[in-house]
């Protein structure tokens, strides 16, 4: 089971893209979108 959560307000408008990304991840295929903006690695360690 794969769940995408954490969307609020206008987040529902991204549902088609999120669905494509999750389908690719479940299938073991690299997503066709750059997800680096959402990486935890973008933050510095404190």
Q: What is the pLDDT of residue 8?
A: 83
Token representation of residue 7: 């969307």
Of 36, 38, 32, 39, the C-alpha closest to 16 is: 32
Inside any domain, residue 4: no
Check if the beta carbon of residue 38 is closer than 8 Å to that of residue 31. no
Q: CA neighbours within 13 Å on the CB side: how many for 6?
A: 4
Q: What is the pLDDT of residue 23?
A: 94
What's the predicted TM-score (pTM) here? 0.68
pLDDT tens, 1-46? 888 888 888 888 988 899 999 999 999 999 988 989 888 898 988 8
Range of the domain at 22: 9-42
Total domains in the chain come to 1
């Amino acid at each position: 089971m794969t769940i995408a959560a954490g969307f609020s307000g206008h987040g529902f408008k991204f549902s088609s893209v999120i669905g494509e990304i999750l389908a690719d991840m479940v299938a073991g295929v690299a997503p066709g979108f750059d997800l680096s903006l959402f990486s935890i690695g973008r933050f510095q360690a404190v």
